Structure 1
Amino acid sequence: MIAIDAMGGDHGPAVTVAGAALALNDRPELFFQLHGDSAKIEVELARHAALKTRSAIIHTDQCVAMDEKPAQAIRRRNTSLSNAIHAVKAGNARAVISAGNTGALMALSKMILKMMTDDLERPAIGCSWPNRRGFGTVLDVGANVTSDAHQLIEFALMGAAFHRALRGTESPSIGLLNVGSEDVKGHDEVREAHQLLRDNTLGLNYYGFVEGTDLCDGTVDVIVTDGFTGNVALKTAEGAARFIKDLMKGAFKSSPLAMLGALLAGPALKAMARRIDPGAGNGGPLLGLRGIVIKSHGGADARAFANAIKVGVSLAASTYEKDIAVALSRFSQSVADHKATLAAAAADANITAVAGQ
């Protein structure tokens, strides 16, 4: 059972219902809860007979606007978004998918579902990133503007679990995004995280520092960074993809000969367009929550929204949640052990100093 915030995104039920129908075509075992305005949902549902038999509409006439502040969304208890998240909290759905307001989704998910551990301040947003080898995982892409060394390590642990569940890679390689590959490069937090990851007491397949060019080269499976850098990189890549696509369209329309070339190269061009289409990797999990929450692009079309649903289904069918909980627990214990060792060393040094006096 998948809970859908049917009113979320730029297009509402016209996309979310059609996306659910496409997902059902590929995964006929699915059931859906469609949260939102029943009248609007039923209009769209009438176009998809198979989906209608596998769906329940949970009516509410309230929804969270795309520009609404998170604090306002939290105060309103009966929105399509909050009701969908509550369905996961109550165990009535295995995952929630929303193309709605990111800030509201983050705030409501944290408030309703809670974080996996007390140490986690807020979720990290992961995304699937197209590269030469297929798709990699990049996180955080917008939830945490700044991140200290411990948070970066938590991102690495969660990103590895997500990539393993979604891509089937048993031991994903992990890189830490930096301005260079040398150990002396970067700010204090990224260098400290690098040192701790390089010690490799957490069982991670750590590669080392990677640079911006490695995002598309596929040098590693998982690239870890803070949310500010990750979000800038993501939007830059999406803009570059649109720019290249527009340039190619203009070039192939520039002359009759160019148009003939486009016709001959049509299949190859369509294949390339699918590879760089942001919708192909749509569906970013909010990592670290006690439940599966998937963020879709607000402007996603039906096929892209279906891809986000499939991400949620893949995670629900895996041991992803347990893997993250175990990894975070192991990390918390290693931090506690390290602090205890330092305290014991300091106590021994103090005793020695007193004895020397």
Structure 2
Amino acid sequence: MRTRRGISYKKPNNMCCDKRRRDDNIMGEKMIRSRKRLKSSSATPVATVSGQCDFLDTLPDDIVLFILAKFGATAACPADFVSVLSTCKRLKALGVHSIVLSKASPKAFAFKSENWSESAHRFLKQCSDAGNIEACYTLGMIRFYCLQNRGSGASLMAKAAINSHAPALYSLAVIQFNGSGGLKTDKNLRAGVALCARAAFLGHIDALRELGHCLQDGYGVRQNIAEGRRFLVQANARELAAGLSTTPSALMSGNWLTCNPLPHLRHGNMVGPRCPLLSDFGCNVTAREPHPSNRFLTDWFSDKVLSSGLRLCSHAGCGRPETRKHEFRRCSVCGAVNYCSRACQTLDWKMRHKMECTLANTWVDDGDGEDNGNVNDDGMVV
């Protein structure tokens, strides 16, 4: 075969060839440096450009999913979880797997109200679709109260309640007691009591307290004063245990037993949050932390003006707004505060309103939050 060699063909320009080779070498080095990882089908570690071995690409997807699920279940804030997903394309793809999202902790999607966006909404929706019960409840509360999407929010809370989520059961009970999202005639007291009983069976403190007041007053259920007081005592005992579990150092030192005859209540200079039960005896135990959804509601409505005539629940750890006028109960003495439930009224009375309410000394409170003079607009005692 005749080749392109010989005298008849001109010798190629060496400068052009050298330049072409040099350009090819430069482009090849750039392509190698731009790649984050060199993947291999073999089970041996792959050597990167820097000479180190990348063992992540040799791990099967099942092991990576297990690691990501464990990390999502222990994440302290959304930034921790997002920072891991933004490390590489593989972690970003596996991080939104249903196995990982179903195990994510409430703190992993505890977004602040000022950081709320469509991407945050979409991430919460992905978590709820993956079967994350906490995400269903959180997104349900945000949609029902903040975004005013009542049907979708109630259905998400119901999905969590079906899976025995105690806060979702209690929130649905509050909606039934108040007829939230509907008319005044939409109240269903018996359904509210049933939901409270289920949440109380699961150990929810506010549901225990609400159920105790319902039984004492015969509100939606046959009156049983002895059984109601038993539930109130049980709620206080659980509150005491929760307060002491958050302050083990105070428990060991015995400082929480130091009983002062209400000095902070007499002078009105209560410093820091106190446990609603133990504050009546001057014990320094911090109150339990509110649910992330309640913190989101509080921050969301802190800088927003509600529609004319609507009010927020006066308990600092609640954040629920009214969905219609005169939905919440108000204090019959001062008329300046209002509450979505008896549990919120009892907690706020012991922590704050007892010191501020006009003519509060005329009311006798024996420590169980039984009757503090709060009635709703129909004249019903809280």
More strand by percentage: 1
Return the structure number with greater relative CO, CA threshold 8 A, min gap 6. 1
TM-score of the aligned structures, taking structure 2 as reference length: 0.27
